[in-house]
Amino acid sequence: MPVRGQAIVLRELGEPGVLKLEDVECGDPGPGQIRVRTAAAGVNFHDVYVRSGSYQTLNLPGIPGLEGVGRVEAVGAGVSDFTIGDRVAWMDQGYGGYAQWKVIDTAIAVPVPDAVDDVTAAAIYLKGLTAHALAAGVHPIAAGEKVLVHASAGGVGRLLAQMAKARGAYVIGTAGSPEKAALAQDAGCDAVILYREEDVAERVMELTGGTGVDVAYDAVGRDTFDGSLAALALRGHLVNYGQSSGPIPPFEISRLAPRSASISRPFVWAYVATPDALRAAAAALFGAIAGEALKVEIGGTFALADAAKAHAALEARENGPFVLECQ
């Protein structure tokens, strides 16, 4: 039987205030699907891009939000790997996370261990899978490599810095304030550059004895692209995985030639494209959290009705990650 609940519905693009709470209906799960009562939903910069119109990937009116965590309340025909009461996490390119109920395909659901609570799982799931893909798939970090992590006090940045350090890298972070630099150092950065006060590329060269970094992970985009490119070592790899400062303007690919550099623009879904790959990555992520090999600090929780406040906090560069509590 369909259920009714509340959700954030986006009917127009714009500032955070366009995120409105409405009553909506959630239908029954079909074959191979489950209906989840959402306990918590993660808030990501991707959601900001969708709300503002930078990413026009959600048909309006629509419910934004890429990920959530909750309990299975109904199962569709043919479902054998989940039962009512199971705790699951999911991320869905079709959105729908900012809602009290969600019907999902079992192919995108993963079990959440008891040692990881709902808020932590929601805060970490997409960001953690992204960091895992960056460190293990896009550029498999090797011991002894020099790594630059922009926004190293951010949600993905802190996780990525920890993963890079665990793999034996020398990790250089960037941050916008001494307070955020302290967070980056706590995440394992060997050095942190205050990008508002120092030239990032010059400081990287000083820290690396003039060689540069083997890989630069850049989620900032337009404002940091040139500096990231200039900070690379010979055969260095620039990984651009976000654009919080705006999209990168077109550039001449010949700029990569002097250092035989490479550039990539990964999307996490390509690295968890099958149920087996997704569940293996999720198990590794949740296992690292449960075993305390990966530290998670929640920046703040908001009621579902306060999604606009969560977006405003994210855009103000307040320390995340942020979570919407949906019940």
Beta strand spans in 32-94 (E)? 33-43, 67-75, 87-91
Instruction: Compute the distance between CA of residue 3 and CA of residue 88 in angstroms, rounded to an integer.
Output: 19
Instruction: Compute the distance between CA of residue 198 and CA of residue 203 in angstroms, rounded to an integer.
Output: 7
Scanning 55-139, the segments in alpha helix (DSSP H) are: 118-133
Fill in the DSSP letter of residue 136. Answer: I
Residue at 109: amino acid letter:
A
Selection from 293, 247, 241, 244 nearest residue 263 by Cα: 241
- Please give the chain's pLDDT, 327 residues, in tens: 899 999 999 999 999 999 999 999 999 999 999 999 999 999 998 999 999 998 999 999 999 999 999 999 999 999 999 999 999 999 999 999 999 999 999 999 999 999 999 999 999 999 999 999 999 999 999 999 999 999 999 889 999 999 999 999 999 999 999 999 999 999 999 999 999 999 999 999 999 999 999 999 999 888 889 999 999 999 999 999 987 778 889 989 999 999 999 999 999 999 999 999 999 999 999 999 999 889 998 999 999 999 999 999 999 988 889 999 998
Instruction: Compute the distance between CA of residue 92 and CA of residue 104 in angstroms, rounded to an integer.
Output: 8
Output the pLDDT for position 297: 87
- Which backbone phi and psi does 253 adopt, to 5 degrees? -65, -20
Query: Is this structure's pTM higher than 0.85?
Result: yes
* Domains observed in the chain: 3-115+291-325 (3.90.180.10), 127-268 (3.40.50.720)
Pair 5, 304: CB distance under 8 Å: no
Supply 304's token pair: 């579902």
Chain centroid to CA 316: 17
Output the pLDDT for position 150: 97
Output the pLDDT for position 244: 78
Instruction: Compute the distance between CA of residue 270 and CA of residue 135 in angstroms, rounded to an integer.
Output: 14
Output the pLDDT for position 319: 81
The 10 Å Cβ neighbour count of residue 7 is 26
